[in-house]
């Protein structure tokens, strides 16, 4: 390599046989590694991108494999139609071209054993989640006994704050959604009941469906998406910022300070939110029934206690307590499993919402089967 080097250049010249790109200077790793020279050369190469452009490399002082790779990539990994080049330069470019054509590795075949192995991994992962959830429930029971023995040392401030954030702040959205669901159900049922002259039975249908099933279920799904994700995000951020590790070093129990207040607060708030959502849905159904079928609000309020037994309300409240506790446990479970990175935090929050909503529907189906003969 010569002692005096010139910066790499690419200039355009017009000849008798068309336009040519003249390359001069030293095209080596040392020169191309300098930021200012590389930015200038990249702009010159961007101008020299016309189709059918000739390339003249005889003016180059030096060309190594780095400069040859830059040229080969700029040419689209194929030889230009017009090229003036020396033997040493051609040898370098041919070597780069030969080693640049690396075939993609073939995809590994997926056989029956691979599918069985994938299924086994999923089963083991599900068993791991089940074991950790069981441990979390057991720890929650132990923390509840500790709280019952010494209530004056309990996390009352945390419980109060979670009651407000999980219950009071959820009332507007649950009331709106419940009201609209009641309106939709009343309008749809009015079209069918009017055909048989059974307009008065809308009280029975709306009362049983909303008080027993749809009210608690709708409130639980909304809370699972709203509060369950918030619980996972809060605990997950504590994992990312190493607050959980600091609590463990100081001897502060994660279950007593994080899981117990959230589970207890949501178990208390969930029945109240469910009753609130049910009342909003009944108000929407009452309004729609009055507008579509002439069933007055006074008649609706008078016929509702006789149409719906009080047992349905107790079943709904009992289900809501279970929903609240399980939503909080699932949110805490996924939050404690978050790894100290933002990608894991996003995956954990998504999995928490999906798991909580699925759990709510499954548990509601179990309650419907167990209490099928109660209150009907």
Specify the pLDDT at position 50. 66
> 3-state secondary structure string, the chain?
CCCCCCCCEEEEEEECCEEEEEEEEEECHHHHCCHHHHHHHHHHHHHCCCCCCEEECCCEEEECHHHHHHHHHHCCCCCCCCEECCHHHHHHHHHHHHHHCCCCCCCCCCCHHHHHHHHHHHHHHHHHHHHHHHHHHHHHHHHHHHHHHCHHHCCHHHHHHHHHHHCHHHHHHHHHHHHHHHHHHHHHHHHHHHHHCCHHHHHHHHHHHHHHHHHHHHHHHHHHHHHHHHHHHHHHHHHHCCHHHHHHHCCCCHHHHHHHHHHHHHHHHHHHHHHHHHHHHHHHHHHHHHHHHCCCHHHHHHHHHHHCCHHHHHHHHHHHHHHHHHHHHHHHHHHHCCCCCHHHHHHHHHHHHHHHHHHHHHHHHHHHHHCCCCCC
Specify the pLDDT at position 2. 45
Cβ 375 vs Cβ 315: under 8 Å:
yes
pLDDT along the chain (376 residues), means of 10: 66 76 79 75 75 75 80 78 80 80 72 84 90 91 91 89 91 93 88 75 86 91 92 91 88 88 93 94 89 82 85 91 94 90 88 93 91 75
All structural domains of the chain, each given as residue ranges with its CATH number in brackets, are: 9-100 (3.30.750), 125-370 (no CATH)
Specify the pLDDT at position 332. 93
Say how far apart CA 181 and CA 208 lie, in whole Å: 14
Cβ 348 vs Cβ 335: under 8 Å:
yes
Specify the pLDDT at position 83. 79
pTM of the predicted structure, to 2 decimals = 0.69
Residue 375 φ then ψ, to 5°: 80, 5
Specify the pLDDT at position 1. 42
Say how far apart CA 144 and CA 93 lie, in whole Å: 74
Per the document, the length of the chain is 376
How do residues 253-278 score in pLDDT, each as one tens digit?
888 889 999 999 999 999 999 999 99
What are the residues whose beta carbons fall under 8 Å from the beta carbon of 37, sequence distance 6 or more?
Answer: 7, 8, 31
Beta strands at 18-27 and 9-15: parallel, antiparallel or unpaired: antiparallel
> 3-state secondary structure string, 78-126?
CCCCCEECCHHHHHHHHHHHHHHCCCCCCCCCCCHHHHHHHHHHHHHHH
DSSP class of residue 58? T
């Amino acid at each position: 390599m010569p002692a005096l080097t010139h910066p790499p250049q690419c200039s355009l010249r017009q000849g008798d046989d068309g336009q040519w790109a003249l390359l001069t200077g030293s095209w080596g790793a040392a020169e191309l590694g300098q930021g200012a020279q590389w930015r200038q050369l990249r702009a010159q190469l961007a101008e020299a991108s016309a189709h059918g452009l000739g390339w003249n490399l005889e003016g180059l002082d030096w060309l190594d494999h780095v400069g040859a790779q830059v040229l080969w990539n700029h040419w689209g990994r194929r030889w230009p139609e017009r090229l003036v080049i020396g033997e040493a330069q051609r040898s370098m470019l041919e070597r780069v071209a030969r080693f640049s054509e690396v075939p993609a590795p073939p995809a590994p075949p997926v056989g029956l054993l691979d599918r069985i192995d994938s299924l086994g991994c999923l089963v083991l992962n599900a068993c791991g989640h089940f074991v950790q959830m069981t441990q979390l429930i057991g720890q929650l029971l132990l923390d509840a006994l500790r709280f019952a023995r010494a209530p004056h040392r309990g996390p009352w401030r945390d419980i109060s704050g979670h009651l407000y954030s999980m219950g009071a702040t959820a009332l507007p959205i649950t009331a709106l959604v419940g009201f609209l669901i009641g309106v939709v159900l009343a309008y749809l049922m009015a079209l069918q009941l009017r055909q048989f002259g059974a307009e008065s039975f809308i009280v029975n249908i709306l009362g049983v469906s909303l008080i027993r099933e749809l009210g608690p279920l709708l409130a639980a799904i909304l809370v699972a998406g709203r509060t369950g994700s918030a619980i996972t995000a809060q605990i997950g951020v504590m994992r990312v910022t190493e607050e959980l590790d600091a609590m463990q070093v100081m001897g502060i129990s994660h279950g007593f300070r994080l899981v117990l207040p959230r589970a207890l607060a949501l178990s208390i708030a969930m029945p109240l939110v469910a009753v609130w959502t049910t009342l909003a849905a009944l108000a929407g159904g009452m309004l729609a029934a009055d507008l579509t079928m002439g069933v007055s609000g006074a008649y609706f309020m008078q016929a509702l206690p006789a149409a719906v037994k009080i047992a349905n309300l107790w079943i709904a409240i009992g289900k809501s307590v279970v929903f609240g506790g399980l939503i909080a446990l699932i949110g805490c479970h996924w939050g404690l499993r978050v790894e100290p990175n933002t990608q894991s935090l996003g995956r954990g929050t998504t999995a928490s919402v999906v798991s909580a909503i699925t759990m709510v529907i499954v548990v509601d189906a179990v309650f419907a089967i167990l209490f099928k003969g109660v209150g009907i």
